[in-house]
Chains A and B, each alone.
Chain A
Amino acid sequence: MSGPATAPDRRRDEPRDYFLPDFCEARAVFAIVLIATLVGFVLSLARQPDEDGFWFDLARTTAFLLWAGLLCAAVLCRSRRWLAAKSLRAGIAWALALLVGTVGLLSAAVFQLGHYWLARMGAMGSLLPASQWLFVLPNMLITAIVGGLALRYFYVTQQWRRSVELEARARIRALQARIRPHFLFNSMNTIASLTRSNPAQAEAAIEDLSDLFRVNLSDSRTQFTLEEEIELARTYQRIEQLRLGGRLQVRWDVAGLPPLCVVPSLLLQPLLENAIGHGIEPLPEGGIVDVRGRLEDDQVLLEVSNPKPVSSAPSPRRGHRIALDNIRQRLELVFPGRSSVAVEDTGDRYTVRLRFPRFEPGPGSAWPGLTDTMTLHS
C-alpha cells in the first residue's frame, strides 16, 4: 500500500485520473525493472545463441533495456503534469514522441560510448553494428511500436477503471435514493399520529428522520466512521421502533468495534433495514434482530441476523439481494480483494456477515486501495 500519510503535498496537485500512471511510484519503477528483465530474457532466448554467448547477450540486452525503461519512466514522470494539461490526442502524441526521442538519444549515447570503449579495448566485433543509424533507428522504431502499445494499454485500463468507478458511484446513489417510499410514508403517518398524543416523541422522530434523509440524499459523503455508521443505524431503529413497537427488538453487541475505523457510508443501516423488512415485519409477533461487531486479526467483522419467517408464498427477496450486491461492490472498491460479504441461512435465521480491513486514517489522508478518486470532495 502506498502510505498516503507519508506522501505529502506533491501528490495533491498530481492529475488524478490521467490515463498515464504515475511512473515515480515505487510500484511502477519495480514493474519496469521486472518487465525489462523479462523482455531481455525473451530477446536473448529468441536469438538462439550458443552456450557461451547467451549470458553475455542477456546481460547487455537487459542492461540496455533497464536503462531505456527507467529513463522513459523518469521522462514520463517529469512530464506527466505537462502532458495531462494537453488534449488527449496531443498528450498521446507528445508522450510517444518523448519516448522515441529518449530512446533515440540513449541509443546514440550508448553507441558512441560503446565505440569509444570498444576501440580502447581493441575488441571491435559483433557487439554493435557498424553504423550508428543501424543501431539507433531500429531502437527508435521498436520504442514507437512498444510505446504505442503500452500507451494504448494504459488508456484502455484507465477507461475501464473509470467506468467501474462511475458505475459504483451510480449504484451508491441508486441505493441512497432507494430509501423505500413505504418507509417514508409510514414514518410520516406515525409522526402525524404522535403530534397529538405525544408531541415530544413526534419532535424527536422528525429529528431522526431528518438525520437519516440528510445522509441518504447526500452524495458527497461516501465514508463514515463506524461510530457514525452505528449511530445512523440506531436512528433508523428508533423510527421503526415507534411504528413496530414491541414487535421489534434489536440486540446491539458492538462494543468491540474500533469507533474511528472508516467504512463506506450506509453499510449497516441497509442491513438493518433488510433485517426488519424481511425478518420482522412479516411476523405478526415480531422478533429479535442481532447486530454484532468485533475485531478479529485486525479485521472488522459486522454481522446482522434476523428471524426468517416461514411462508408458503415465495417472498420477494430481490430488494434484499440488490442491497447486498451493492454493499459487496462498495466494499470491494475500497478494499480490493480484502473484504467479504457472506450470507448464512439456517432455515430459521438469516445472517449477513461483513468482513473488511480495519482502516483508521491519519488526518487528511485518503482511502486505501483504488480509491483516491473515490474520496471525492468531502
Chain B
Amino acid sequence: MQEPLNPTAGSDKLRALIVDDEAPARERLRRMLEDLGDVLVVGEAANGIEALQRCAELDADLVLLDVRMPGMDGIEAARHLRLLDDPPAVIFTTAYDEYALAAFESEAVGYLLKPVRREKLERAVRHAARIAGPQLARLAEQSQLGRRRTQISARLGEQLRLVPVDDVLYFSAGQKYVTVRHRGGRELIDESLRALEQEFAPDFIRIHRNSLVARRYVRAVERSDEGQLLVRFTAGDEALQVSRRHAAEALRQLRTGQ
C-alpha cells in the first residue's frame, strides 16, 4: 500500500481513495486519475475493511470501490462509508457482473467497467455523488452482493468502529439508538431493530419488542422466580427478558434451530 503522496498539497483537488484487491488494477486507476489533473490520489486499500479505516483517516472526497473483494465487498463497504460524518462520493468498479450492473443502472449509481476508459472515468468523476442509504440498501438487495453485512459499523467520533456480526450477542433498542452488545463490549448504532431483524434472520431471533438475540450465543432460557422467561448467553452474565407476546415463537425458533 502506498502512502498518500502529500495530502495537504492540493487542497483544491478532489481527494480520491482507490480500493481494489488487485495491485495492477489500483496502479492503472491511480495513473489515470492523476492524469486527469484535478484529482489527488490520497491512498489505496486492498479490501473493504481497509478502505473504511483509510477513508476516515485520509479524509477522502471520492472512493473508487471494486465490487468484488475478499473480506468485505464493495457494496457493503459503501454501506458503512455512508455513516461517516462527511461521507465520500462513491464510484464502483467491476470487471464483469451482469446482475450487479443492472442494479447499478436502476439506482443511477456511478460504476465503471474494468479495464476503465479514460473518458468514462473522467465523466464518472465529474458526476460522482454520494449515494443515499436506502438507494444502497436496494442496490445490495438487487445485486445479491453485500445484502447481508458481515460487520456492523458504529460511529466513534470521526472514525468507524466495526463489529463482526458473528461477534454480536444481541441488539437492544433504547430511546433513540440501538445498543450492540458484542464479545468485545457495547456500541451504539443508528439503525432500526426491524431492519436488523430482516437482514440477519434466521441467525437472530426477536424475543421482545426491543431486543434481538443471536441464536449462536444463547446458552439457556430460564424461568425467573417471578415467572418471567429470561435468555442467558454463553458470554457475559446479563439476562434478557422474553416478552409474553414473543415467547412462543422465540422458543420455537430456538428449539428448531439448534
Interface residues of A (CB under 8 A from B): 181-182, 184-186, 188-190, 192-194, 196-197, 242-245, 247, 281-284, 309, 311-313
Contact = CB atoms under 8 A, between A and B. Distances in A.
Contacts of A181: 95-96
Given A192-B28, A193-B24, A284-B21, A186 B95 contact: yes
Interface in B101-155: 113-116, 148, 150
A87 B163 CA distance: 74
Nearest to B150: A312
A40 B95 CA distance: 71
Interface in B8-44: 21-25, 27-28, 31
A201 B95 CA distance: 21
Contacts of A282: 70
A182 B21 CA distance: 14
A244 to B, nearest CB: 7
B202 interface: no
Contacts of B46: 284
B25 A190 contact: yes
Contacts of A312: 150, 165-166
Interface of B: 21-25, 27-28, 31, 46-47, 49, 68, 70-71, 95-97, 113-116, 148, 150, 165-166
27 contacts: A182-B96, A185-B96, A185-B113, A186-B25, A186-B95, A188-B115, A189-B24, A189-B28, A189-B95, A189-B115, A190-B24, A190-B25, A192-B28, A192-B115, A193-B27, A193-B28, A193-B115, A196-B28, A242-B24, A245-B23, A247-B21, A282-B70, A284-B21, A284-B46, A284-B71, A311-B150, A312-B150
B24 A185 contact: no
Nearest to A202: B24
Closest 7 CB pairs of A and B: A193-B28, A193-B24, A185-B95, A192-B115, A189-B114, A284-B71, A189-B115
B70 A284 contact: yes
Contacts of B96: 181-182, 184-186
Contacts of A182: 68, 95-97
B70 A185 contact: no
Interface of A is mostly: helix
A170 B97 CA distance: 26
Contacts of A188: 114-115
Contacts of B23: 245
A245 B28 CA distance: 15
A286 B118 CA distance: 31
A202 to B, nearest CB: 10
A119 B169 CA distance: 104
B29 to A, nearest CB: 9
Contacts of A281: 21, 70
A58 B49 CA distance: 85
A193 B23 CA distance: 9
Contacts of B31: 196
B95 A193 contact: no
A312 B46 CA distance: 21
B25 A193 contact: yes
Contact of B24 (A194, A247, A284): A194
A126 to B, nearest CB: 79
A197 B24 CA distance: 9
